[in-house]
Amino acid sequence: MDRSIVVSLLRKFSLPLAVVVLFGLAWNGVRRMPPSLSPVGSGSGLSALEACLSSPGFRERVTCYQPILEGQLQAQGPRGVLSELDRLQEERPVFRAHCHDMAHVLGRFWIARGGTVADGFREGSNICHAGFFHGMVERVFRGGEKLTDEPLHFSPEELRAKVATVCGPEVLQTTSRNIRFQCLHGLGHAVVFSLGYRLPIALEICDVLPGNWDQNSCAGGAFMENITGVERERRMLRAGDPHYPCSIVPPKYRDSCYGMQTSWMLEDGLAWDAIIAACRAAGSSQLSCFQSFGRDVSPRVRQGGPVAFVPLCTQLAPDERAACIRGAVYALADHTWDGRYAYPFCAVVPSADVRAECFQQAHTHLLRSLEQPPETAQRGCLVLSDGKDVCLTTLQQLVTS
């Protein structure tokens, strides 16, 4: 690989200085983390988390692991406890399905106890689908006065005023679309939560943001919160209806809604074949639904390996298959911002043409959406036992294009 290209991309994607500035001006009234929360001790206390994961209900799990995580954050600081979560998910697959929610808890607590967003971006990490970053934005948006997770019941007018100032480029002081996306996605979570899961009003709040990309980035977080949020009984979902609420949201948000909807279908008890049929009935949003289908394949890949789950995508018609693979590799790369899960998935795709397409999708997302340097992708290729050559070839094609 041409070193000048690598250096140029590294400079382009270098984030630490921008991240320090990120919210420094916008949130300079938020206190820095008190000295008592500086990193000390070890991560051994996190071993108690596994018992929490056996609880059947989402709220019960969060209630169990929240004090453990908060204690570890005080003991180790963000990077230390997130590194421990990363280690646990590597060693014990059961953690891979829950670490994003756990990272949200850590991000909210960091802000609630007086940490700044700028310090959090610098001292935290993107582990677990950047959940720590999303949780920080949630708590900044909602305020740090309370440590409870009760919605604060802002009026729509108050929310519109807040939304307009949280993630704009003049506040972020960075050209990084990835950092802006993480902010807007966390904002969507926060708006739905703050409104008590009144999703239609939340989407109207997202409308305040400038431009379709900002609005849909916010809406994506809103739809995710509506499905995965802690206030399960408040969610705007309908048992037995795989298309609700996507069937009633404004057309411009329908693709964003279907981009999460298969998670609800799975929760509602639909088998994979039934979900495929439902996606084929999603009208103009069929491919968004199949991308969601792939995203929901991804946690199974992380927990059980790719071999058993790649056929869920490769059995589909060509356009459906491409959307499914895109959803899977995007989510697998999002989990750690590297290729450790996405590349092994692509490596076992049986068709050579589809395998190359899979690697191209993974590389594009990693370098261009997640703004990672090509060296990160190269390291992921080099550790593959199968598929190494096509991984490196498709990477070289992208970098030199």
Shared domain for 178 and 110, answered yes or no, is no
| 50 or 369, higher pLDDT | 369
**Domain presence at residue 321:** no
User: Where does residue 308 rank: exposed (0-12), middle (13-18), buried (19+ CB within 10 A)?
Assistant: exposed
Query: For the purposes of burial, counting CB atoms within 10 Å of the CB of 271, is it exposed (0-12), middle (13-18) or buried (19 or more)?
Result: exposed
**Statement: residue 31 has pLDDT above 90:** no
Share of the chain above pLDDT 90, in %: 47
Closest CA to 237 of 226, 251, 248, 253: 226
In terms of residues, how long is the chain? 401
Q: Are the C-beta atoms of residues 69 and 105 closer than 8 Å to each other?
A: yes
Would residue 99 count as lying in a domain?
yes
- What is the rounded distance in angstroms from the CA atom of residue 178 to the CA atom of residue 15? 10
CA–CA separation, 179 and 175 (whole Å): 9
Q: Is residue 84 part of a domain?
A: yes
Contact 190, 138 (CB under 8 A): yes
Measured in whole angstroms, how far is the alpha carbon of residue 190 from the centre of its chain?
A: 14
Task: Check: CB of residue 235 under 8 Å from CB of residue 226.
Answer: yes
Out of 182, 212, 236, pick the residue that ends a domain.
236
Last residue of a domain, one of 118, 140, 162: 140
Query: 22 and 170 in contact (C-beta within 8 Å)?
Result: no
**Residues 326, 293: contact at Cβ < 8 Å?**
no
Q: What is the mean pLDDT of the chain?
A: 82
Does one domain contain both 107 and 71? yes
Mean of pLDDT values over 191-201: 88
Residue whose C-alpha is closest to residue 111's, from 160, 146, 156: 146
Supply the pLDDT for residue 312: 96
Asked whether residue 314 is assigned to any structural domain, the reply reads no
Say how many C-beta atoms besides its own lie within 10 A of residue 169's C-beta: 13
* Rounded Cα gap, residues 199 and 236, in angstroms: 7
pLDDT at 166: 76
Site of tokens 């070193």: 3
Which of 236, 259, 291 is the endpoint of a domain? 236
In a domain, residue 62? The reply is yes
* Same-domain check for residues 109 and 159: no
In a domain, 97, yes or no: yes
Q: Is pLDDT larger for residue 117 or for residue 30?
A: 117
The residue with tokens 């899961």 is: 197
The pLDDT of residue 85 is above 70:
yes
Domain count, the chain: 2
Q: Quick check: is 56 in a domain?
A: yes
What residue numbers bound the domain in which 71 lies? Answer: 16-140
Q: Is 184 domain-assigned?
A: yes
The answer to whether residues 43 and 124 belong to one domain is yes
In sign, the C-alpha dihedral spanning 287, 288, 293, 298 is positive
